[in-house]
Structure 1
Amino acid sequence: MRGLTLGDAFGETWFFRPAETLETALVERRLKDGPWLWTDDTAMALSLLRILDRHGRVDQDALAAEFAGAYAADPYRCYGASMHDVLRAIGDGEPWPVVTRRQFDGMGSWGNGAAMRVAPLGAWFAGDLDTVVAEAVRSAEVTHAHPEATAGAVAVAVAAALSVRGVPGGELIEAVAARVPDGEVASRLRRATRFALSADPRHVAGMVGCGSLISAADTVPYAIWCAAANLDDVTEALWATALAGGDVDTTCAIVGGIVAARTGLAGVPEAWLAACEPLPSPLVMNPGQ
């Protein structure tokens, strides 16, 4: 959870900078002064973690209520436009299956929101990959009815579980792809396996996307490649992920969650930890308690 939050807050610092200086700042590794504030990626991951702690599994009705309650308490965490509508409607008492299935003319959202929050779930159930897949699906369905969004959540959760289990970076992407249902996310994961882990992240992003379209397919394969390429170093993983731009807070949140599931925050500079907005304590405390 702390790795996800660090990635989220670090990634958010790269928005709203002049385009002509952004890549130079990334290449030269010029950090923004703190505080680094976390976004909806962390807020929703915290809600999911609370439900796992409370129920030991994804209780979908409880998760929907937790998401809506956290949103109502703090709606200014850079939630996506469609998620404002979803969480307000759920908070107003509409059933979550009805709300999520009517998004985007009945197709449901295929955004990256279900993937950005799910790494702690993968670590939680790491001992049983079948359970990881099933619970990741359940966690996604509460807000994202489109199968590609669900596939993205499955991919990230499996990647985090495999990270915990010590699977080498060179094997990680193929192992994840084997657990993801056929579709665009799976196709781009297979495409990502063709790139050496020493490749320039910007080149990989050009081939598989880096979140600019905010879709699961455009976000998740790149993030998993970046994690696989830097599976033992959170700091290097986040620098590499940010280099390509795109939806940087979300790609970095995904990568931070996957890599820290293996390493913890060992080796992260103290200045980064001091700059990052702290999490609630204890982590699983209900905001209303």
Structure 2
Amino acid sequence: MADRTAAAVMALRGLALGDAFGETWFFRPADQVTTAVQERRLKDGPWPWTDDTAMALSLLRVLSEHRRVEQDALAVAFAESYAADPYRSYGSSMHDVLIAIGQGEAWPEVTRRKFDGMGSWGNGAAMRVAPLGAWFADDLDLVVTEAARSAAVTHAHPEAVAGAVAVAVAAALSVRGVPGGELIEAVAGRVPDTEVGSRLRRATKLAATADPRHVAGMLGCGMQISAVDTVPYAIWCAATRLDDLTEALWATALPGGDIDTTCAIVGGIIGGRRGLAGVPADWLAACEPLPAWVDRL
């Protein structure tokens, strides 16, 4: 299998940019977001990234050290990163999970007891996984397996796992150069029979030229902070603009929703294919830099 470390790093850089860009739209009324996006009015920097990038960094570090998802190491990495900087906009349930893991509780017990034993079906496992898809891009079966293993450390619910698998496969296919017109259907074919999969199949029928606000009305755009209402929309946005990361992020932000997460997913999928090519210099200057160790991979 070819070494895809460079692609994984590019995916991480795209993810971090999307995350930081998306975070700039929070705490504004929805109508103001839509107007500002339509007018292409950016917030002045700096643009800090959030838990999306923090957790993606932990995942990439574990992959670089173990060449696979070593789940116990990943759980520790997540907990240590959280303890070092808990103010990265982590979801409420993740505060409890990561504190418990940091205190020595076994991650399978912690994750399974969330939401009355169902586990979280949030979008956290999906938002961080694009670098993994890029890392294993030459083996789609391995992408599916490793994405599911990475999700299980924090999200036990099948929908959350399906969301992570979908994003990882999308990132892998993007790295492999699959055309956008084929990408969503190919992803849907690899995702378990879930509501995430059902909405991905719905997304295959939506025109690439559709207004993102219409698509968000059909698929969701993260308002519920679930994998179900986040992942299909983000994959549609990425697939319809695979060769222009900047335009993809503007389109993704238009309907509002969980914008840092949808944009992080889109940035990760496109970043593994194109890196940050074509991104304006002022965006790059505004985005919070990644840790120096990433440059050494």
2:33/2:254 contact within 8 Å kept: no
Quickly say closer, same or farther: Cα 1:157–1:36, change in 2 above 3 A: same
After TM superposition, the score normalised by the length of structure 2 is 0.95
Equivalent residue, structure 2, for 1:48: 59
Equivalent residue, structure 1, for 2:106: 95
> Cα RMSD (Å) of the superposition?
0.9
Q: Per-residue displacement from partner, 1:166-186 (whole Å, max 9, x unpaired)?
A: 000000000000000001000
2:210 matched to 1:194?
no
SS in 2 for 1:214: coil
CA distance in 2, matches of 1:87, 1:21: 34
Equivalent residue, structure 1, for 2:6: none
Equivalent residue, structure 2, for 1:37: 48
Q: How far is 1:19 from its partner?
A: 3.5
SS in 2 for 1:111: coil
The match for 2:117 among 85, 106, 111 is: 106
Equivalent residue, structure 2, for 1:64: 75
- Amino acid corresponding to residue 44 of structure 1 in structure 2: M
CA distance in 2, matches of 1:19, 1:185: 25
CA distance in 1, matches of 2:128, 2:83: 18
Count of paired positions: 285
CA distance in 2, matches of 1:284, 1:61: 25
- Amino acid corresponding to residue 108 of structure 2 in structure 1: P
2:179 matched to 1:155?
no
Equivalent residue, structure 2, for 1:280: 291
Q: How far is 1:119 from its partner?
A: 0.1
The 5-angstrom pairing of residues 110-149 of structure 1 reads: 110-149=121-160
Q: Per-residue displacement from partner, 1:216-239 (whole Å, max 9, x unpaired)?
A: 010000000000010011101100
1:46/1:284 contact within 8 Å kept: no
Equivalent residue, structure 2, for 1:239: 250
After TM superposition, the score normalised by the length of structure 1 is 0.98
Identity of aligned residues (%): 80
Q: Per-residue displacement from partner, 1:17-52 (whole Å, max 9, x unpaired)?
A: 233422110100100000001000000000000000
Gaps of 5+ in 1: none
- Amino acid corresponding to residue 175 of structure 1 in structure 2: A
CA distance in 1, matches of 2:219, 2:245: 22
Q: How far is 1:284 from its partner?
A: 7.9
